[in-house]
Amino acid sequence: MNATVTVPEKSGLAGLNPLSKIAAVLPAMLFVALTTDVWSPLAIAGLALVVLMGVGRISPMRLARALGPVALVVLGFLLLYPLVVRRELVAGTPVFLDLGWAVIHEAALELGLTAGLRIFAFVALTMIFNLTTDAHDFARALVQQARVPYRVGYAAMAALRFAPLLRHELSVIRAAHRLRGLGEAGSLRDRLDMLWRTAVPLLASAIRRAERAALAMDGRAFGAYPTRTHLRRMTFTGRDVAFVAGFWLLTALLVIALAQLGLLGPLAFVQRV
């Protein structure tokens, strides 16, 4: 028997195999990890945003919500990284700000901006995967294309199904605590106590549910055969090849353009000083 359900055709990035989205962004991520200048991460982040809005049809509002917290991280790096930078690295450059207890040099500011932008570019690249991929599809692709043992993949998928159950359980436990007059959180100690009192019953009930599910699965001969059939088939088609090749090409062109314009700084995993 080889019955499969036809999955409704998804458009744009959502229709691609999750693994091809990861393969597409990996070289760009490696490049970002190696950069030491401001412009390269900025350009890569720009590429990711253009692909997300152009190919993925993600609305700018949704993008802003997803990347907002990370933009704050960049700001934080810009403000605080200069305070921990080694002084002899930046001592030769003009002073940007003298606070009395700390002097901020222009080079230190630039280093902070680069560190922050690198993280921003990383996250922008992963959004190509995140905003367009269902975690179940990812687990399916891992089993069907990446040859992960299906017992492992299906255990992970079963765990995903537990998410709403466990969140419900969490609210029930909290309600039970409030009923006994334990709900009001005050000091940090109270909060930690509460986290502990919530964690123990949540973990206990999660494990009991897992054992029941495992018995049910064993009862249906889960894992009895080395291979199995799949209800939903993940595919790896010409569209995936085109997307991966296209993204690699765009990344390469961007790197060449940066080098031609003289904006590309030295590349290094560990920066020599």
| Contact status: 93 vs another protein (CB under 8 A) | no
Q: Which of residues 171-210 bind another protein (CB under 8 A)?
A: 195-196, 198-210
Contact range with another protein by CB under 8 A, out of 7-15, 50-58, 129-137, 254-262: 129-137
Contact range with another protein by CB under 8 A, out of 54-62, 94-102, 211-219, 238-246: 211-219
Burial classification of residue 44, based on how many CB atoms lie within 10 Å of its CB (0-12 exposed, 13-18 middle, 19 or more buried): buried
Mind giving me the DSSP string for 49-81? HHHHHHTS---HHHHHHHHHHHHHHHHHHHHHH
The C-alpha atoms of residue 248 and residue 47 are separated, in whole angstroms, by: 11
Q: Which of residues 218-247 bind another protein (CB under 8 A)?
A: 218, 222-223
Cβ pair 28, 42 in contact under 8 A? no
| Contact status: 158 vs another protein (CB under 8 A) | yes
Contact range with another protein by CB under 8 A, out of 38-46, 92-100, 135-143, 231-239: 135-143
Q: Which of residues 15-44 bind another protein (CB under 8 A)?
A: 22, 33, 36
The C-alpha atoms of residue 123 and residue 128 are separated, in whole angstroms, by: 9
Q: Which lies closer to another protein via its Cβ, residue 36 or residue 145? A: 36
| Contact status: 156 vs another protein (CB under 8 A) | yes
Residues for the chain: how many in total?
273
